[in-house]
C-alpha cells in the first residue's frame, strides 16, 4: 500500500544526544515536510523539501537538521542544540500543487527527553 511511514513511534533521548527520526514515502511525491506539535498546540513547520538535495528552513528550524538524498526519504535529526525537543513530530508529503487530496501525513513520532 502507498503511504508515509514514520519510525520510531516512540523515542527517548538523553540530554546532549542527537536522535534521528525516519520518514519514508512511496507515493512518488516531490515535496516532503516536517512539523512539530506540542500538546494542545497546532503544527509548526520545521523544514521542507521540494526536490532531492534541496530543503528550506521552516519557522522553527533551530536545533534541527534534515537531508534529502533520495526522493522517498526525508530524515529529521534533533540535535543537542534543540533545548526543548519533547514533542510530537509529523512528517508529510505532497505533490507539487495543492489541489485535491495530495497532502499525506505519517502517523507521527513521540520524542521524549529523559
Residue 61 in contact with other proteins, rule: CB under 8 A: no
Residue 16 in contact with other proteins, rule: CB under 8 A: no
Residue 25 in contact with other proteins, rule: CB under 8 A: no
12-35 b/e with 16+ CB inside 10 Å = b? ebeeeeebebebbbebebebbbbb
Cα–Cα distance, 90 to 46 (Å, whole number): 10
Q: Residue 29 or 82: which CB sits closer to other proteins?
A: 29
Cα–Cα distance, 94 to 80 (Å, whole number): 30
Please give the residue ranges that form the binding site for other proteins (CB under 8 A): 4, 31, 33, 35, 41-45, 48, 50, 56, 58, 88, 90, 92, 94, 96-101, 103, 105-108, 110
Amino acid at each position: 500500500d502507498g503511504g508515509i511511514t514514520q519510525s520510531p513511534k516512540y523515542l527517548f533521548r538523553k540530554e546532549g544526544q542527537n536522535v534521528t527520526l525516519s520518514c519514508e514515502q512511496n507515493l512518488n511525491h516531490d515535496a516532503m515536510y516536517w512539523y512539530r506539535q506540542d500538546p494542545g498546540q497546532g503544527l509548526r513547520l520545521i523544514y521542507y523539501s521540494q526536490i532531492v538535495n534541496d530543503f528550506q528552513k521552516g519557522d522553527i528550524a533551530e536545533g534541527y537538521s534534515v537531508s534529502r538524498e533520495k526522493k522517498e526519504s526525508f530524515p529529521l535529526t534533533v540535535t543537542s542544540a534543540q533545548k526543548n525537543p519533547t514533542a510530537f513530530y509529523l512528517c508529510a508529503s505532497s505533490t507539487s500543487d495543492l489541489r485535491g487530496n495530495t497532502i499525506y501525513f505519517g502517523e507521527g513520532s513521540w520524542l521524549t527527553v529523559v
